Structure 1
Amino acid sequence: MDEHTPSAAPLLLLVDGSSYLYRAYHALPDLRGPEGQPTGAVHGLIAMLKRLRDQFPAEHAACVFDAKGPTFRDEWYPEYKAQRAPMPEDLAAQIGPIHEVVKLLGWPVLEVPGIEADDVIGTLARVARESGHRVVISTGDKDLAQLVNEDVTLINTMSNESLDVDGVKAKFGVPPERIVDYLTLIGDAVDNVPGVDKVGPKTAAKWIAEHGSLDGVIAAAETIKGVAGENLRKALDWLPLGRRLITVVTDCDLSAHVPMWPRLDALAMREIDTAALLDFYTRNGFKTWKRELESRAAVTSPAASPPGATSDLFADPPPAPSAPVDRHYETVLDWARLDAWITRLKQAPLVALDTETDSLEAMRARIVGISFAVQPGEAAYVPTGHTYADAPAQLPLDEVLARLKPWLEDARCKKLGQHVKYDLHVFANHGITVRGYVHDTMLQSYVLEAHRPHNLGSLGDRHLGRRGIEYEDLCGKGAHQIPFAQVDVQRATEYSGEDSEMCLQVHEVLWPQIEAAPGLRYVYESIEMPTSALLARIERNGVMVDAQVLERQSQELAQRILTLETEAHELAGQPFNLGSPKQIGEILFGKLGLPVVKKTASGAASTDEEVLEKLAADYPLPARILEHRSLSKLKGTYTDKLPLMVNPHTGRIHTNYAQAVAVTGRLSSNDPNLQNIPIRTPEGRRIREAFVAPPGRVIVSADYSQIELRIMAHISGDATLRRAFAEGMDVHRATAAEIFGVGPAEVSSEQRRYAKTINFGLIYGMGAFGLAASLGIEQKAAKDYIDRYFQRYPDVKRYMDTTKARAAELGYVETLFGRRIVLPEIRGGNGPRRSAAERQAINAPMQGTAADLIKLAMIAVQAALDEHHRETLMVMQVHDELVFEVPEAELDWVKAEVPRIMASVAELSVPLVAEVGVGPNWDQAH
């Protein structure tokens, strides 16, 4: 069954929770939460439920678990499930959190004492079918295949398997109505239900095919020869009870557990509980899901909206009303049709363009097919690399690209895409520099609604009321996923043609909204679109890495890690696993009797990083554990891994810059993450020594100086702060002089450190509690410092107060250039979350403006490099820093021009300053 095929019948989605508990537990590594609690099964179940809800938009659903205690099968057969091992302790500890989070995710939960989950599911499926529902059952349990019929389908999210009637026949060799017979013959070792000895799936299927059913097999028992026949005859007395045990009961009384039974109203899928789910993700250390939920948090508020703003920024808007469009996607298999389409492309005012490739790695991907759309409902797909056995004859890729190249490289021919940067790479891999990309629906969404997902399926769902075919529908998932070259050409046409055509329709909805808002239009046209093209160039440039330097550092780290482990064991008086929070807790608090700083939710002594840092100030063992943890991560993440990421064709590392992730506009780097290389420790800083320039070139680093403080001075309008920057003073020294009432020359290093902490802390909305913790002082003293600060910088205080109030009114804040940062919790969160959103409201305009400035700087510097025909390469962007690989002959020009250009990209009330460093490697240049 294709879950994307529309149907008038409502859908009931049932999840065999008990089946997935064990599968998730054994499939995932030993994940641990902040307090050391096991979270692997929780993580696996959440991922599965989220995926299911996306794939199957069901009106009704239930996640069904086995209840504790015996069931009616135990009365029929006391040995039922008797051989099952007790549930692992780490899994048992996750049952409560699993039930909690399933409910928070909006799923009705059923756990019926005395009735197995299979029987609850079977009963629900029968009642749903009788009431006109389609049913999808998510399970890994083969027993439930007996429930499959034309209205009931099984799916297994872990193996990407979907079983309808034909699927059951193909997998088991028998139809669904014979699954009970089949399972009775082979038995179920997991449930301790014997079958016929030595009879496996092939024999069982063969017997049923020959004799029609289990009853037919029993009737023919005397005629079946060999050892199998003999064993069958020995089992004849058992088989009726075996069949009874294996048969899923579909007439259970669920009235005490499902209100209004047998109606399904009580199983309506609910909205997620955002506030409680955020708390759950925090407690269990699910940072990625927490960030995702924070960016999508749905908050309804009656607060009035300003002109031009939506009434609810946080709820998904209803899809734009549009007339139904007949869709026709053409497969282009001959030159005449390709030439006809090229003529249309040249004449069209805007063309949506998409590539299908053999890899998600942009720098290595090769084209399998190309699609275009010039108007809603119509698209073409040109397959060039589908290689399955009976694939139709296709046009050769090289010649297809040769005919398309003039149009692709013509900047006057306007083009549109979804995640254009990827397609720029793909065409570049084939020697084509695409010009004329004027729109990117991913970036349009990012500018309009940064807190929401930006993939094309989500955009179509949100703005068009349609969610196209998913990639995994065609290719599958995981180990069973096939390459796109193996996808049927007709299906590929539907998929790729829809991508282009839907992209065009999404653009027609989003672009008018951006056009109508000058600030958003500037951010989109002047910042995000040029940045996308430039990031593709930076990624292709790559950066050279000296693998020998990293190998040497790995060896040194390995030696230090081993030494730390030995020292830790000596301090503990016994060996223990330095990676085990449980063993660390037993040593620190049980054996050594160190003070308990805080406890976990379960009442155990916490061993998280914050606790270890506090203990390390007075005790040597926690310090060794912390250092061991830090160096192990450094080695595993960087010194061991970076050499493996060097592209064999270029000899360089090519990171990917994710542009549409951070709501503030900052870029993020991955594969590898160059922005998270730690620089607070000498060992971390040394990683940068491996980022080098080739002979005849040097590394140049250009970094904005105190950019967010300068933005604070400009936005707040505080005269004292502005004067400090205008006069080129050390702003932290100037702040210390103001707070402590001394002359700048009399400020001590300790006073300057306090002032620096206050300056940066207030940017992030830090209060007295946070400042006291950062400085290691009493909270009252910290409050006195903040009060004195605001007395000397009253406009900073005014900015903070007005910004929080304005953010609560609008639901968002803006950068100097018009970028909007939506704050989901600012109006509807509870106390702590609303406070966090208020802190974000203070910081986001500064962090977002800094992100806008560095992007504008990148664009302006590259334009100057191109204008003067320089060979200097921009190779990295890290926060407020640009890194270049510079020929020695161009060094003087770069040292003079780059900081000048960076300082002039915007005119603030305080000077922008960029500082330049030069060296043979990144560490010495920074």
Structure 2
Amino acid sequence: MSKPILLLVDGSSYLYRAYHALPDLRGPGGVPTGALHGMVAMMKKLREQIGAEHAVCVFDAKGKTFRDDWYPEYKAQRAPMPDALREQIEPIHEVVKLLGWPVLEVPGIEADDAIGTLARVAAEAGHAVIVSTGDKDMAQLVTPDVTLINTMSNESLDAAGVQAKFGVPPERIIDYLTLMGDAVDNVPGVTGVGPKTAAKWIAEHGSLDGVIANADKIKGVAGENLRKALDWLPMGRKLVTVRCDCDLAEHVAGWPSLDTLALKAVDEAGLLDFYGRYGFKTWLKELGAKTAAAAAPAEPVNGDMFADAPAPVAAAVERRYETILDWESFERWLSKVQAAELVALDTETDSLEPMLARIVGISFATAPGEAAYIPLAHSGPDAPAQLPLDEVLARLKPWLENEQAAKLGQNLKYDTHVLANHGIALRGVRHDTMLQSYVLEAHKAHGLGAIGERYLGRSGIAYEELCGKGAHQIPFAQVDVARAAEYSAEDSDMCLQVHALMWPRIEAEPGLKRVYAEIEMPTSALLARIERNGVLIDAARLQAQSHELAQRLVAIEQEAYAIAGQPFNLGSPKQIGEILFNKLGLPVVKKTATGAPSTDEEVLAKLAEDYPLPAKILESRGLAKLKSTYTDKLPLQINASTGRVHTNYAQAVAVTGRLSSNEPNLQNIPIRTAEGRRVREAFVAPAGCSVVSADYSQIELRLMAHISEDPGMLRAFGEGVDIHRATASEVFGVPVGEVTSEHRRYAKTINFGLIYGMGVFGLASSLGIEQKAAKDYIDRYFTRFAGVRDYMERTKQFARDKGYVETLFGRRIYLPEINGGNGPRKAGAERQAINAPMQGTAADLMKLAMLKVQAALDEQGKATRIVMQVHDEMVFEVPSGELDWVKAEVPRLMASAAELRVPLLAEVGVGPNWDEAH
């Protein structure tokens, strides 16, 4: 007979996770509801998943605990609870009780200690105990009767799981935590000791006591730090130990009996009232409330559609996955695919590099729960006979290339490349769940597992579960076919299901629909073309530059030695610190967390203003990075088949909508130094062609003029006046003709600084002036450009009210810290609120311009190709016969990408390489 289950929920951990997992949602009257919504969803899901007879949700009580008496600095550095979360604590307790959960909070002890005590008593009484938490400290509670689960990661930890995850058994977790310390709770450990070292020491010496007894034998800096911490470690162990002997008699009726902790029936009447009060319309409908429409707000407040977010639906769909190993099954599924209105597809490959990846298998989903996997190149020892890859792809090709056959996927740009590697041009792509997630919630994670967790309550099988990690990772072709089929079919199925939840939300919001359908989806297809175009690299030129950089680095090293009076390792922060601060006596600008003088780039840049050695170190670092990242590496990244370098443009990374480039990153090649600019000389055009660079001029300032409607800025751009000279004239009170280069430099810093939300301190630092002078400049600027000031205040208020800001085209940029963050984080969110609409609109404009230019190239049958996109710039490879057309038409097309109150201006440059064209 199985044991009865006691389910213990770490409520304090849950509410913080719920708060940080969702945007700043607001219900009727503007009350915050994000944590509340997440808490309800998690508690509902947990009750459905775990068949427990007894359960309790445990929260931290207000006030001090016994650990504060032991160690006054305990949790002293922890930021105070955000106001928006504090407002939700009472309703969270209320709704958890309405959901049938007993709730417990015990003054004077932490939730962990109450859970530890309940777990011990329940195990002794013959219960199986499940603790739901994300807190690693709770691993010390695991026994044969106590298991941990983490619903966010679908992780379950028994004793073997604890050993596998942490490298130590549950009974040594306290020792492990003591050695590492806990920065969150402000509990020091041994300086520099992380998980690997802690686990290693415990494995070697058996326990913390064994480590302490052998402290004299442990060598190096780690051993020195251990010996320094010996007096502290007993207190550290005391602080990280979860107490399992607390007196709960006053708080649990009938203690130590657990009868009062039985799960209760859901209070449906109470929930109806609660969901109505907080605007949870979907859950009202679930309960069959006839008055749902009246109870919910007519206009959702601050969180719009997210206030209506659905509860997890993971249990609603039965899964029927099939593995296709014969032609009869293939033909049956091909007919099903051809008849479906929308099909999700997913390719499994032998590489993550899009231009090199070859297909191992492919899956399709035609309806929720209905999916199939076709293994095509599995080679594991137990792999069954599979249909021939080439013949399968040949039969699928007409459907894959059919524009009328609607397709869906997760990051289909990758699958587009994979199929192109097999000679198939994927067409008919209607939807991409990665981009849907990105448009809805850009600040969240957009992997299918993360999306599934948010919308379906499950993340699916992780790739690492099949293939392993690191050196032990196996190719996908060696994965057992049955497991591979479950994994791939599940991906296609989840893709179809999350699309069904996300697309209606996007479709209901005109701005979001425009961003998704008219900007992101077509841009994805265009980026695939640009990536396949690649860019031509002169490898010999880069190799010559690498040789020159190596010689220059040796020379800088010798110059640094001469200044220091001795040789030292320019890559060692410790040796640099000893030379700069101990030997040369330079001033300490700031310290690291361990109290040592910092030698980070910001510190060296500050010191370099007055001292030569930090300048040499910075120069060496910059050149070494340039050499390793570009001049050494780029030639190795030339594709052997095409002779070109093919970057990957990531669409769903920057919250503002900007693209990012990786493998290699072509957007971060430094241009402020001569050496950096020379790298661009190696980006060349083939014979008979030129490189053309087309760049928006002062796009964000023009957008500031448009959005703020400031008369002075509008006039300057309308008249074609140099905006920085116009600003200098206003701020310094001199005629435009008398503005000096110094005036213009200051004005340029002010113009760009203020659109990035820079304050007095930042401007003073940038200009190297006193804060009083910086404040005077800002005051004068806002006096002359009052529209800009009004825009900034208006935008910050909009962000506080809504939780997000918008671009001109409707993209939403969520700012989770705008209401709930601490001082610096909130100030950062306000700066982002000011800049994000302009940076995001600039990103949208560039994407629209790219689409417009490519459409014109296609319509007129031009051979010109876009080969790179770098921030506000497009780079083309142009045949000589099309050069005049490109120079005339591309700036015109870019300028007409949107109608603004000021003219958009795009400028072009031409040359044999990128540097000369830019």
Query: Structure 2 length as normaliser, TM-score?
Result: 0.71
- Structure 1 residues 363 and 11 mapped into 2: Cα distance closer, same or farther (>3 Å)? farther
Aligned partner of residue 884 in structure 1, secondary structure: strand
1:131 is the counterpart of 2:137: no
Q: Which has the larger displacement, 537-546 or 253-262?
A: 253-262
Aligned partner of residue 653 in structure 2, secondary structure: coil
Mapped to 1, the partners of 2:621 and 2:298 lie a distance apart of 50
- Structure 1 residues 810 and 189 mapped into 2: Cα distance closer, same or farther (>3 Å)? closer
Instruction: Give the C-alpha shift of residue 98 in structure 1.
Output: 13
Residue 817 of structure 1: aligned partner? 809
1:765 is the counterpart of 2:739: no
Instruction: Give the C-alpha shift of residue 780 in structure 1.
Output: 1.3
Residue 412 of structure 1: aligned partner? 404
Instruction: Give the C-alpha shift of residue 318 in structure 1.
Output: 5.3
**Conserved? CA contact 2:122–2:258, under 8 Å:** no
Q: Which has the larger displacement, 569-578 or 317-326?
A: 317-326
The aligned runs of 1:246-261 (5 Å cut-off) are 254-255=243-244
Aligned partner of residue 810 in structure 2, secondary structure: coil
Instruction: Give the C-alpha shift of residue 155 in structure 1.
Output: 3.2
Residue 482 of structure 1: aligned partner? 474
Aligned AA (1:734): A
- Structure 1 residues 305 and 690 mapped into 2: Cα distance closer, same or farther (>3 Å)? farther
Aligned AA (2:127): S
1:327 is the counterpart of 2:333: no
Residue 922 of structure 1: aligned partner? 914
Residue 693 of structure 2: aligned partner? 701
**Conserved? CA contact 2:5–2:127, under 8 Å:** no
Q: Gapped runs of 5+ residues in structure 2?
A: 11-45, 59-72, 82-115, 148-157, 171-201, 209-240, 250-254, 260-295
Mapped to 2, the partners of 1:263 and 1:678 lie a distance apart of 68
- Structure 1 residues 614 and 460 mapped into 2: Cα distance closer, same or farther (>3 Å)? closer
Aligned AA (1:785): Y
Mapped to 2, the partners of 1:421 and 1:162 lie a distance apart of 42
The aligned runs of 1:839-878 (5 Å cut-off) are 839-878=831-870
- Structure 1 residues 598 and 262 mapped into 2: Cα distance closer, same or farther (>3 Å)? farther
Residue 905 of structure 1: aligned partner? 897
* Cα deviation digits, residues 233-253 of structure 1 (max 9, x gap): xxxxxxxxxxxxxxxxxxx99
Aligned AA (1:133): V
- Structure 1 residues 163 and 324 mapped into 2: Cα distance closer, same or farther (>3 Å)? farther
Aligned AA (2:914): W
Residue 472 of structure 1: aligned partner? 464
Instruction: Give the C-alpha shift of residue 611 in structure 1.
Output: 2.4
Instruction: Give the C-alpha shift of residue 352 in structure 1.
Output: 0.8
The aligned runs of 1:571-720 (5 Å cut-off) are 571-720=563-712
Aligned AA (1:614): K
Give the root-mean-square deviation of aligned CA atoms: 3.9
Instruction: Give the C-alpha shift of residue 101 in structure 1.
Output: 9.8
1:342 is the counterpart of 2:322: no
**Conserved? CA contact 1:314–1:824, under 8 Å:** no
* Cα deviation digits, residues 783-826 of structure 1 (max 9, x gap): 11111111111111110111111111101000000000000111
- Structure 1 residues 654 and 377 mapped into 2: Cα distance closer, same or farther (>3 Å)? same
1:896 is the counterpart of 2:897: no
Aligned AA (2:374): V
- Structure 1 residues 435 and 775 mapped into 2: Cα distance closer, same or farther (>3 Å)? same
Aligned AA (1:604): A
Aligned match of 1:352 in 341, 344, 353?
344
Q: Gapped runs of 5+ residues in structure 1?
A: 1-6, 14-53, 63-95, 105-119, 165-186, 194-251, 266-303
Mapped to 2, the partners of 1:533 and 1:500 lie a distance apart of 20
- Structure 1 residues 319 and 422 mapped into 2: Cα distance closer, same or farther (>3 Å)? farther
Aligned AA (1:346): Q
Aligned match of 1:787 in 779, 792, 812?
779
- Structure 1 residues 483 and 605 mapped into 2: Cα distance closer, same or farther (>3 Å)? closer
1:443 is the counterpart of 2:439: no
Residue 380 of structure 1: aligned partner? 372
Aligned partner of residue 154 in structure 1, secondary structure: helix
Instruction: Give the C-alpha shift of residue 582 in structure 1.
Output: 2.3
Aligned partner of residue 667 in structure 2, secondary structure: coil
Residue 733 of structure 1: aligned partner? 725
Mapped to 2, the partners of 1:385 and 1:128 lie a distance apart of 53
Aligned AA (1:591): K
**Conserved? CA contact 1:697–1:885, under 8 Å:** yes
* Cα deviation digits, residues 370-413 of structure 1 (max 9, x gap): 11111111111111111122322211111111111111111011
- Structure 1 residues 824 and 874 mapped into 2: Cα distance closer, same or farther (>3 Å)? same
**Conserved? CA contact 1:125–1:135, under 8 Å:** no
Aligned match of 1:454 in 426, 429, 446?
446
Instruction: Give the C-alpha shift of residue 602 in structure 1.
Output: 4.4
Aligned match of 2:716 in 719, 724, 735?
724
Aligned AA (1:516): A
1:751 is the counterpart of 2:757: no
Mapped to 2, the partners of 1:756 and 1:643 lie a distance apart of 37
- Structure 1 residues 334 and 258 mapped into 2: Cα distance closer, same or farther (>3 Å)? farther
Query: Structure 1 length as normaliser, TM-score?
Result: 0.71
Instruction: Give the C-alpha shift of residue 499 in structure 1.
Output: 1.0
Mapped to 1, the partners of 2:203 and 2:300 lie a distance apart of 64
**Conserved? CA contact 2:5–2:129, under 8 Å:** no
Instruction: Give the C-alpha shift of residue 331 in structure 1.
Output: 1.3
* Cα deviation digits, residues 343-392 of structure 1 (max 9, x gap): 22222111111111111111111111111111111111111111122322
Mapped to 1, the partners of 2:571 and 2:307 lie a distance apart of 42
- Structure 1 residues 257 and 860 mapped into 2: Cα distance closer, same or farther (>3 Å)? farther
The aligned runs of 1:31-430 (5 Å cut-off) are 127=123, 130-133=126-129, 152-155=158-161, 190-191=205-206, 254-255=243-244, 307-308=299-300, 311=303, 319-321=311-313, 324-430=316-422
Instruction: Give the C-alpha shift of residue 585 in structure 1.
Output: 2.1
Identity %: 66
**Conserved? CA contact 2:128–2:146, under 8 Å:** no
* Cα deviation digits, residues 517-570 of structure 1 (max 9, x gap): 000000000000001111111111111111111111111111111111111111
Mapped to 2, the partners of 1:920 and 1:9 lie a distance apart of 73
Instruction: Give the C-alpha shift of residue 103 in structure 1.
Output: 14
Mapped to 2, the partners of 1:849 and 1:493 lie a distance apart of 42
**Conserved? CA contact 1:380–1:493, under 8 Å:** yes
Aligned AA (1:486): Q
Aligned match of 1:530 in 517, 522, 530?
522
- Structure 1 residues 744 and 707 mapped into 2: Cα distance closer, same or farther (>3 Å)? same
Aligned partner of residue 133 in structure 1, secondary structure: strand
Aligned AA (2:128): G
Mapped to 2, the partners of 1:887 and 1:879 lie a distance apart of 24
Mapped to 2, the partners of 1:794 and 1:473 lie a distance apart of 58
Instruction: Give the C-alpha shift of residue 160 in structure 1.
Output: 11
- Structure 1 residues 923 and 153 mapped into 2: Cα distance closer, same or farther (>3 Å)? same
Mapped to 2, the partners of 1:102 and 1:766 lie a distance apart of 24
Instruction: Give the C-alpha shift of residue 610 in structure 1.
Output: 2.4
- Structure 1 residues 570 and 264 mapped into 2: Cα distance closer, same or farther (>3 Å)? farther
Mapped to 2, the partners of 1:786 and 1:161 lie a distance apart of 56
The alignment covers a number of residue pairs equal to: 712
Residue 49 of structure 1: aligned partner? none
**Conserved? CA contact 1:159–1:480, under 8 Å:** no
- Structure 1 residues 904 and 305 mapped into 2: Cα distance closer, same or farther (>3 Å)? farther
* Cα deviation digits, residues 664-716 of structure 1 (max 9, x gap): 00011111111111111111111111111111111111000000000000000
Mapped to 2, the partners of 1:129 and 1:359 lie a distance apart of 53
**Conserved? CA contact 1:765–1:842, under 8 Å:** yes
Instruction: Give the C-alpha shift of residue 157 in structure 1.
Output: 8.6
Aligned AA (1:645): Q
